[in-house]
Amino acid sequence: MNNELKAHLQVVLATLIVAGSFIATANISDQLHPISLNLMRFCIATLALAPFVLFKKNPLKKLIRVMPRSLVISFFYSGYFACHFISMLSTSALNVGSLFTLTPLITALLSIFFFKQKLTVTSLFIYLLGMMGTIWVIFEGNYQLLSQLALNKGDLIFSLGVLFMGGFTISMKLLYRGDDVTIMTFGNLLGGVIWMFIAALVLGVSLNWQSFDYQYFPSMAYLALAATFITSYLYQKASTVLKPINVSAYIYLNPLCVALMAIVVFKESVAPIIWIGIGASTLATLILQYLANKNVALTTPDKSTKTNKEAVITTK
């Protein structure tokens, strides 16, 4: 299995895990303040990864080298989570889900600036197709429900979160210097702890971890270990091979992942009208992957003096 295919599978697995996190988040969202919950999840994830880091050669030296860049990456990552949870205090899941569909397009626009990549009319149409398909699923094909969509203060906060997510995807690629991915991931998680702790101090948030109902600890464990620790590693690993556009495009697979989870795990049925949106968003993901890979092939310098290794580096 080549590295590119492996990277795509890593992002697909991360997307499946993220789809399951919505259920876990719903279970614990009212337990503590959003900042406190996110600090807890980053602490658990960091502690879980720590033993793997200790077995590395010169782990402290490597961590010190990556930490400045990890702080930038984690700033965007933790910023997204903070905006997400805070926005849910004053907006609905429908509004958040709709705004989140802007993430791939925002990432593509940022890629134009940072990586000199082009956004063609065809690509723009596909992004719109993915957004429409995902929104169709979110609103269950109900046009009247969609027409009642109204933006509020919480939506503005989450819109900032969408920008943070785009920045997270871009920064993972932009700031990678061939470092050990495990060390880099640990630095990102540790950075999340630092930023969330600072946010708690600035906003005057009391952690109150002692009041957390530990019957919900399985949900917290899923968020910390699967949706934070594992997905952080998978996204960081995949971003060393794939373009930010490739990574973010898989967001449009969320409706398919949620539908499969509903069918396989919860034995629920999915209404036929919902499959229209699932099909559109899935098709958009596949086409965007094709266009991104085609763009790589077209922009790779064709010079006989370059080795294959140099050509691969040029396309990254």
211 Cβ contact partners less than 8 Å away, ≥ 6 residues apart: 31, 32
- Per residue of the chain (316 residues), what is the pLDDT tens digit? 788 999 999 999 999 898 777 777 767 877 888 899 999 999 999 999 999 998 888 999 999 999 999 999 999 999 998 888 788 777 776 777 778 888 999 999 998 889 887 788 888 999 999 999 888 887 777 777 767 766 778 889 989 999 999 999 999 999 999 999 999 999 999 999 999 999 999 989 999 999 888 888 998 999 999 999 999 999 999 999 998 989 999 999 888 887 887 788 777 788 888 899 999 999 999 999 988 777 644 333 333 334 343 333 333 3
Task: State the Cα–Cα distance between residues 197 and 194, nearest whole angstrom.
Answer: 5
Judge contact between 184 and 236, C-beta under 8 A: yes
- Confidence at residue 305, expressed as pLDDT on a 0 to 100 scale: 37
Q: Half-sphere exposure (CA, 13 Å, Cβ side) for 315?
A: 20
For residue 234, give the nearest of 1, 6, 2 by alpha carbon.
Answer: 6
Task: State the Cα–Cα distance between residues 131 and 125, nearest whole angstrom.
Answer: 10
Token pair, residue 304, equals 């006989």
Judge contact between 22 and 257, C-beta under 8 A: no
Give the Cβ contact number of residue 173 at 10 Å.
Answer: 22
127 Cβ contact partners less than 8 Å away, ≥ 6 residues apart: 104, 105, 108, 284, 288
Task: State the Cα–Cα distance between residues 38 and 84, nearest whole angstrom.
Answer: 10
For residue 137, give the nearest of 284, 285, 282, 276 by alpha carbon.
Answer: 276
